[in-house]
Structure formats: C-alpha cells, structure tokens
Structure 1
Amino acid sequence: MDSERRLQRLYADDSGMSPVVGVALMIAITVALAAVTVAMLLGVADPGIAPTQDTAVSLDSTNAGTALVPEVTGSNDVDVRLNGESIATVDGNATGREIFLPTAPGDEVMLVTENEDATVLVREQFEAGEAGDFVAYYPFTGGGTTVEDHSRNGNDGTFQNSPQWVETGQGSALEFDGSDDYVAVDDLKTAGVGDVEEFTVAVTFEVDSNGDVQQLVEHNSGSEEWHIETTNDDALQFAVNWEDGHKIRTADDIIEPDKTYVAVGTYDGETYRLYLNGTEVANATYTSDVNMGEMQLGKNDPDDIQYFDGRMYEFRLYYTAFDDHQVEMLTRVLE
C-alpha cells in the first residue's frame, strides 16, 4: 500500500480575548486502496487494482479544541482516534461534516484506515496553544508538591498539607483526605483579563464519603464566588455568583461514594448550565462577567471547611462556553 501525506500549518489569532494561537492544520492524505478482482482467462487468475482513492481533511484549532472536517472521502472508512481511543469515523457520508475533538495539550490525534492493514495516515500531537482555549489544565500526572498547569499559562497549583498522587484502575489521580488537603492556585493568569465573559469548568472525580458539602473547585473574590461542589444532601451544584444566589444543582441523592463522575459547568454570558456525565441537569440565566482571580481545589475559599474527600482525575478550565455536543464529546474523553 502506497501512502502519501502533506501537512501544512497556518497560524492566526483565533480569539480577541484569549491568548490561544489559532492553528489551521490542512492535511491531505492520498492512499492507494488495493482491491483484488479475479478474472479467469484460460484458467489463469488476473488480478486488477482499484483506482486510487483520496481522503482529505482539515484540522482547525477552535476555542474548545479541534474541528476536523473531511474535505474529500475515499471508499475506505477512516477511524479518528484521540490518545489511542476511537472517537469518530470518517466515512463516505462525512464530507463537509465537522467532527469536534476536545483536544488538550499533549494529546495525539491519529487517523487510521478501517481495514486489515489499519494504516496510520496521520499522527499529530498538539502543543499548548494548539488544542483549546485553556485558562488551566491539570491532568494530575506527575509528582512532588506542585500541580503543573499543562496549558502553559503558568497557573500551577501548590499542595497545602498532603494530597497524594495515586494510581487507580481509572488512571492517575490526586487524592484528598477530606480533613485538610487542598491545592491553592494563588492568582489565575488570564492574559491580563481579570473578568471573562464566558467559561467552562470540567472535573472528573469520585468521593470516598458523602453527606457533607465538599468543594471540588472554588473561586472567591470579594462578593464573587463560583464553584462546583457536592452538597450535604448528595447533589452536585454549580454556582457562577453564589453570594447573589446564581446557582443550579442536580436532584438530591445523586453523588455516591466510589463512583466516577464527570461534572461540567459552562457559562456563555447569558445562560449557565450544569452537566453530569454528559447530560444537562440544570440551567439558569446570568448576564455579568465572571472573575477568575485565585482558585482552590478541594476546599472552601477562604474558610478552612468543606474539604474534598476523594480523588480528582482531571481538571480543565477554559475561556470559552461549550455547547451540548461539545460537552458530550468532552465527557467521553474525561470518563
């Protein structure tokens, strides 16, 4: 099988507010797909070769991740994989249809033919600034007493007391004891912007106990507080301005110990929404900017209460709002 690939990068500013550098990746893939036909002539098999098929896609950086758009599709389906996991298929009906990929810095996208050869057509790794408009990104891999911000915005977190790096069947995680462990991010760097018009926060977590308020993430700046927390009646709550009562939540008795959840809160400047495991559970209106400021993972800010008892597997904070489909795809990656 003969394979030829052309890759071109074009850089442009993708958002007036954000520091992310938009990236347009134009990928043209030409693959010779061989099909054998047998003709019997005087008892001798005469193989024929099918004509060359072209598959061309564009990969364009967006505020939420990466948009893959098939420009030309061939006769063979192509499997789209994010970090080795199948996330979409490019088939003959996919031309012009955008496929959203919730990429993050360090992620790898592969396009692989869905045939016996499973030929890798494209293998592309994304750097910071190419894979979404992040404020902070913590995959919770590493060691020491610092949580590295993989978005390279410098929003590293510092251990307070003794959170523990652990490996579980779910993957690497940061474990909090529910007593005094938390992570402090002193001042979120947002490219000189103190307030943002929209944002999305996502966290994968599991609790070891319930029945108490536990903060997954909280920001408090004067009278402005946004957070995601579990409540004392085992609901999940998302607030964009808690002091003024702008908060939404799931029903009671939802969060149970030793189960993994993906919580996503998103705000587009008019409506804020809460999703649990990819499903929207509540929404309400709010029309003010939101302050980023400092942030704490695993504790109330500023009081020494409401400590988180469990594990966090991944945390993402974006400058941009996500729609329903983007949240669904993000949840698939974070689960």
Structure 2
Amino acid sequence: MYAPRSPGTARPRGPASAIGLALVLLAVLFVPAGASAVPAPRPEAQTQLTTPWTHEVSPANALPDYPRPQLTRSRWQNLNGSWQFAEASPGDAPPAGRDLADRILVPYPVESALSGIQRHVDHMWYRRTFTVPRSWHGDRLLLHFQAVDYQSAVYVNGVRVATHTGGYDSFTADVTGALKGAGPQEVIVGVDDTTDIDGQPVGKQRQAGDGIFYTPSSGIWQTVWMEPVAAAHIDRLDTTPDLAGGALKLTVRASGVTSQTVEATAYAGYRKVGQVRGRAGASLMLPVPHPHLWSPDDPYLYTLKVRILDGHRSVDAAGSYFGMRSIGLGKGPDGKVRTLLNGRFVMQVGTLDQGFWPDGIYTAPTDAALRFDLEAHKRLGFNMVRKHVKVEPDRWYYWADRLGLLVWQDMPSTFASHAPAASVKEPFEAQLHALVDQHRSHPSIITWVPFNEGWGEYEPGRIVSEIKAWDPSRLVNADSGVNCCDSLPDNGEGDIYDNHTYVGPGAPGQQGARAAVDGEYGGLGLRVDGHMFDPENGFAYEMEPDAATLTRRYTELQGQLLQVEKRCGVSASVYTQITDVEDELNGMYTYDRRVLKPGADQVRAANLALIKASGSVGEGGGTTYPPGTPGLDGVAFYPLDEGSGTVAGDGAGRHDATLVNGPVWTDGHSGSALRFNGSDQYADTGAAILDTTGNYSVSAWVKLERLGSFATAVSQDGDTNSAFYLQYSGADDRFAFSFAGVRALAPTAPQTGQWYHLVGVRDAASGTLTLYVNGQRAGSAPACLGDASTGHTVIGRGRFGGNPVDYWPGAIDQVHVYDRALSADEAGRLYQSGK
C-alpha cells in the first residue's frame, strides 16, 4: 500500500474511552505464584475502540486454545495470563527471585490496551512461576514461545535456556536441565524491541503510528506454553502434496532419534487411506490414492497421525492434517499464463488483510475474533486473502485451511536501503527462511511475497532463488507493487508481475512467463461515527458519502476488474481492505469489526462474478482496433509558433488550445514555444481528442527548468485521474509515459535547460505503454486497459485524485496527438523531422 500524496505528520496518540473496569480489575486481582500485591492500574490503560470480543478477555481466559494445530499432542499447559513486568535498561541482569512492579496480560503486546500496560517499551522483563504436573516427571519439558518481538532471552531458575532474534516465528527451549525439584519454577523473559531502528523486519509498525503505518507491538504477542515429550520426539512435519504421484511428500523432523523408525498414517475421516514407514529426516511418500482435492469451494482436509517407533513400542505420537492441492503457472483458456489451482485457472479474488486490532494491536483478543476476519471473507464471496507484511499465529492459518481461503503470505518489511549491510540481510533472510519453514505445510498458503513496493528490497533475483530452494512447491511474488513506490526495476524476477494502482483497478497485461495480478487497488472509504480510531485524521484513497455510494463504487471497480480479468490475463485481485486500520477508513468493516459498510449481497455477487468468469476467459476472441489516421501530422498538431496571443492553433485538426492563467511565449526548439510556470498554467484544447480505450500516441519537445516534482507535458483528463501522462516522474527522476500507477520509464535522469523529444505510445492490442526519448525506445510497461476519458486533452498539467496537478515548469514545443500507436520507426522519424 502506498501512501497518499500528502500524508499526515506523526503525532502522539491519546486515549479516548476506558476499555472496561472488569478487565482492569481482573488484571489487578490475578497474581501468579510468588508475586507481590499489584499497584493500582494507570489511567492511560484505555483504548479508543472495543471489539465484540474485548470483554471476553481475562487473565484466566487469555487465548486458551491449542496454539500449534499442525502438530498436536494431548498433554500441554498454557502459560498465558498475568505475568510480572518491568521496564529494563540495556545490560541489566535478569531479575531472578525478585518481584517486578507491574502486571501484564500475556500474550497481548505491551502497547495494547489488553496488556494492561499500553505504552511502548524498548527493553523489558517478564517474570512468572509455573509448576510441572507430577504426571510429566521423567519426560523432557519443552517451553514454547509462538512469537516475541524482537530479541529474546529466556531464563528458567536463573539459567539462560534460549535466545532468539525475530518477531514473527516461534522458538522452543528444552528446559529440563534447569528445573529444580517439584515446586514452583521461575521463568524470566528479557525482550529488546526498538521497533523501526537498525533495519529489523517490522512491517507496518511505527513509533508513532500514522497514515499507512500503525502502533507497534512489542514483547510477547503470541501464546507461551509448555509440553512434556520423550527423549526421542517429533519437532515438525513438512508436508507437500504430490497430485501426480497420488501421494503426500512427508519429512518428519525429530530430535533424539537414533535407530527408531517413524510411521505416518493418513485418514479420510475414520478410513485409513495410506501408511508409510521410514527414517526421521528422510523424504517419505505417503500414498493418498485418488485424492480428494482441497480448494476454496471444497476445503477437504485429511487427518495425519505420526509416531516414533522403537521396535513395536510407540515412544512419541502427534496428530496433524493436510490438504491435497497444487498451485503453479500454466496457460489459461485464453492462452495467457495464469495461476493454476489444481491444474485449472481460478481467479483469486481477495483483500489486503493487515491483522491489526484496536484492543490487541497485533494480537486478536480471542480465537473467535481471529476466525471472524476469515469467515467475513467467505461470507462476502472472496476466495483469497493477502496477509500484508505481518505473520499471524498458527491458528489463523489453521482457520484458512479449514474455511478454504487461498493465502498470499508477505514477509514483514524492513525499511533499509537497497544495498543493506550484512547486519540487515542476514537476520532478514534467516527470519524469511523461518517463516517458510514454520508455515510450509498449510495448504491455504499458495504464494510467498518477500518484498512489498520496494520497502527494504534488495537482490530480488537471489531472494526468489532462495525461497524456491526452500519451497519449490509454491509461487513467489518477488515484489508486490513492483510498478510503484520504492521498487527496484522489474527484471522479471519471480512468478508474478504485481501491479498496485489506487483507486484503480490497474490493468497490467500478462506478458512473458509470469502471471499478472492486481496486488492492491481500491481503498474506498466511509466514515462511520462512533467506530473510528482517530476521527480527525481518518482518510481513504476515495472517500464516499454514504454506504449506498460505497457499495455502488465497489461493484463498479469489480466490474472493471472483470474486463481486466478477461482481456488482460490478470489472475488475481487484492482489494484494500477487509477492515479499517487506525487512520485508514477504507475497510469493508470498521476497525472494531462491528459495522459492515457496503451491502453484503452486492459485494458477494460482484466477487463471485469474477470467480465464475475464470472458466470463460478468452471466449469471443480478441478486441480489434481501427488503424487510425495515417501520417506524422496526427489528429491534432500544435506547432506553437504563434509567438503571441492567448490561443495555440491546431495545425492538423479543429481543436485550438486556449492558454490558461498566462503561460508565456518563448524561444522554442523550432520557432516559438510556450513557457509554463509550474504552478497553475496550462493550455486547454477544449475537447477529448483521443479515445483512450484504444490505440494512441502523443509527442512533444520539452525542456525542464527544475527537477524533483512530477510534471506533465501532455495528458487527457479523466473523472479522477488523467487517462495518460507524458511526464517527468519526480518519484523516479526520469521521463515517463504513464497511467496512474504504471510508468514506462526512461533509463537515465534528464538535465534542466536541455530540449528532449518525448513520444508516448499506447498499444492497446499488446497492452503496453512505450516511451521514446530522442527517437530511441527508452522504456516500456504492461498496461492492458486504458481508462475511458471524456475530459479535455491538455498541455502543461495532469489530473490526479480529482484535482489538477503536476504543472510543467519549463517550455513545451511541437505537440502531436495521434489516434494510433506509432511504430518505433515512426517515433524515430518524428524526432528527426523536428531535429
């Protein structure tokens, strides 16, 4: 998601209303063994919004659900609840045997209202005691942390048992050797989290959150728990469906195994369908004949039971599940490369899901809340969700598996440079690898996304190769939004070309061996009184006046996407977004999940129409376009040789241009030209000269007096944005021929005070924009559909977000407008004729 052109400035956040005395009192009254009395709660422990589940949370009921659904055992103990807490300083010794002053409700982040702390802390201590059940004596004791942000050190009875770096993956400590007798055992966790300092992966976390960035989440934010295991025990199950082989590829990762055998059995309900035995760590083929395929329409899951056998004796056993499905690339019904699910094209229709909560920030208040967002997707007709620069608890992916949602999983972004130091790259890649390993067996996950809009992007080709080596069974979207923002040049990395266009939708034409997707679009907003995080600063990419207008605009966007899907070969769409998040008011639901803004039936119908169209793409043949007017004069030509007056004559047509706000005549590249001040001056032809749904070209000689800001030489107004821009892109310091969100860029920066000849060519048949500079092809970009435009063709400015923008600071001469796509030879001849 890219920021609005004028994002708000950072500001402190103040509380607005109490979260509820019941929660605070429970936090006060619940004291773990060995703890002292708790001080009175601070008045700042409040939140602006509550969700329907906020008041279900208590120290006795803090996320009690089994946290690891893909590797289950019957014996376990949850350690969520009230812990002692204190702020720390770097280098402090662990506070062994000492009570800490505060109480925190684990596993809610320190900054959240549900934690009871609700402030950011860079360095912190957690402390509590636990007792090992008598029936576990003789077993190894594993202490599990599902996620702690960011650097952790764990001590049991004063012995350091684990250190970990990374805020999004789980880690485990075998604490058996640190236990003392049968009484209470002390656990202390030290955490350092500076959030967005030093290039750590943070995703959307910021201090202070603002605009498209949000309140950070530090410390323990997922379940802490323990379980007893045998000396030889299963650590992880890696599963990959093999539809062609009628089998499940299975690797049992285990510890303490010597000569023992692993045995895996697959069940369809209560019916055994296959069994395999072999060595731990080996790749086993578990037969699954005539597999029942997993899909969003039929999310069928098999049961998996795995044992470690010492002879005939079972020394460890664990339960799991798996789904049989394939994901890949191939030709769709129209011959374009598409994403294929189980061998056929299914349009992926999803939302951007950022996973933030007003009460728990990164942590959903309850498992029902965690499930709610996914169930909402299904109710509204979506079949996909993009988990945006955040990683969820394992139970979120379990529900995606169960409910039937395709998942794109982003890696949380750093915001380092494009050439980061090894101190940034090494932990980023280690944590990316951990993300893949921990979640590789979920059938719902079909795509890994290492970078978003170039945030912290580096060496994308190598990163894609690494991910493919770790997991060759899934697609890799190298950089979602590679067309915009801080992205490195697109050199064809990965399996997907991903376009971000707001409000959009974008229309990237499928080209080459990659699938094309609309990875972000939309952002339609609606204010709902009483359900906004920060009413004074709420924004959207397009704010609507009421629910009816929001519903209509959403169905219009999905209708446009239907054409993009059919004509451009687009395989997926990601609408921004499923819920409001803090200042962003562009959700289907309000941030508190209490109000669905658009009409559910209309949203569902529009989404299902996109999915249904998967089977009919390519029917009826391709679109043909008229040849256009021959010759190099074009349908309009402004030589700008008048030298005086308020009108620039059209030498090829009948659309003389009126000078607006006083551009002045100056020496041109040939004869005279117009000089614009870059603030409010332009020339208006008084007509929509071009049919921008078809082929066209525009050209001009241009000279810039300053660089840095966007500047448009020729454009044609649309309802919201210009249909096209022949421009200087300030974001790239390059000349460009552009649609909103898509730019064909020149390879080098221009110089001020120098004349350049620009030609922008729109070829609707091939779905491309091409820019020529001084007669040479300079850049190209896929853009399948052009926006219909009934506004005027103008010289010297553009239109964006409904407003005139990007005024030209300098001179423009010899403007041509063509109702056809010029060839490379014609672009060269046009430059030579002017030269």
Q: TM-score higher than 0.5 here?
A: yes
Determine the structure 2 residue equivalent to 1:28. Answer: none
Q: Does 1:268 align with 2:766?
A: no
For residues 214-243 of structure 1, give each alpha carbon's deviation from its aligned partner in whole angstroms, at most 9, with x where no partner exists.
11112231256211111224211111x31x
Q: CA deviation at 1:186?
A: 2.9
Determine the structure 1 residue equivalent to 2:733. Answer: 234
What SS does structure 1 have at the residue aligned with 2:833?
A: helix
- The residue type paired with residue 184 of structure 1 is D
CA distance in 2, matches of 1:304, 1:267: 22
Larger Rg: 2
For residues 22-65 of structure 1, give each alpha carbon's deviation from its aligned partner in whole angstroms, at most 9, with x where no partner exists.
xxxxxxxxxxxxxxxxxxxxxxxxxxxxxxxxxxxxxxxxx1x2
Determine the structure 1 residue equivalent to 2:819. Answer: 319
Determine the structure 2 residue equivalent to 1:255. Answer: 750
Q: CA deviation at 1:196?
A: 4.6
Equivalent pair of 1:155/1:187 in contact (CA under 8 Å): yes
TM-score (norm 2): 0.23
CA distance in 2, matches of 1:175, 1:257: 14
Residues 27-106 of structure 1: pairs in structure 2 closer than 5 A: 63=630, 65=631, 102=632, 104=633
What SS does structure 1 have at the residue aligned with 2:715?
A: strand
TM-score (norm 1): 0.55
CA distance in 2, matches of 1:162, 1:223: 25
Change (3 A) 1:292 1:318: farther
Q: CA deviation at 1:169?
A: 6.8
Q: Which runs of 5+ in 1 are unaligned?
A: 1-14, 21-62, 66-101, 105-133
Equivalent pair of 1:173/1:312 in contact (CA under 8 Å): yes
Q: Give the aligned CA root-mean-square deviation in angstroms.
A: 2.3
Q: CA deviation at 1:247?
A: 2.2
Determine the structure 2 residue equivalent to 1:144. Answer: 645
Equivalent pair of 1:196/1:319 in contact (CA under 8 Å): no
Change (3 A) 1:169 1:198: closer
CA distance in 2, matches of 1:251, 1:17: 30
Q: Does 1:188 align with 2:688?
A: yes
CA distance in 2, matches of 1:299, 1:321: 22
> Which structure's residues are more often helix, by fraction?
2
For residues 271-305 of structure 1, give each alpha carbon's deviation from its aligned partner in whole angstroms, at most 9, with x where no partner exists.
22111111111112333355453122112325243
What SS does structure 2 have at the residue aligned with 1:325?
A: helix
- The residue type paired with residue 259 of structure 1 is Q
Change (3 A) 1:170 1:148: closer
Determine the structure 2 residue equivalent to 1:167. Answer: 667
Change (3 A) 1:168 1:150: closer
Residues 207-246 of structure 1: pairs in structure 2 closer than 5 A: 207-223=704-720, 225-232=723-730, 233-239=732-738, 241-242=739-740, 245-246=741-742
- The residue type paired with residue 745 of structure 2 is R
Change (3 A) 1:181 1:223: closer
- The residue type paired with residue 321 of structure 1 is A
What fraction of aligned residue pairs are identical, expressed as a percent? 22
> Which structure's residues are more often strand, by fraction?
1
CA distance in 1, matches of 2:743, 2:795: 19
Change (3 A) 1:331 1:292: farther
Higher relative contact order (CA 8 A, sep 6+): 1
Change (3 A) 1:16 1:323: closer
Determine the structure 1 residue equivalent to 2:239. Answer: none
What SS does structure 2 have at the residue aligned with 1:173?
A: strand
CA distance in 1, matches of 2:787, 2:832: 27
Q: Does 1:200 align with 2:701?
A: no
Determine the structure 2 residue equivalent to 1:158. Answer: 658
CA distance in 2, matches of 1:208, 1:195: 30
Q: CA deviation at 1:204?
A: 0.5
Q: Which runs of 5+ in 2 are unaligned?
A: 1-624
CA distance in 1, matches of 2:627, 2:692: 11
CA distance in 2, matches of 1:235, 1:276: 11
CA distance in 2, matches of 1:187, 1:268: 22
CA distance in 1, matches of 2:702, 2:627: 30
Counterpart of 1:296 (choices 784, 794, 799) is 794
Change (3 A) 1:144 1:255: same
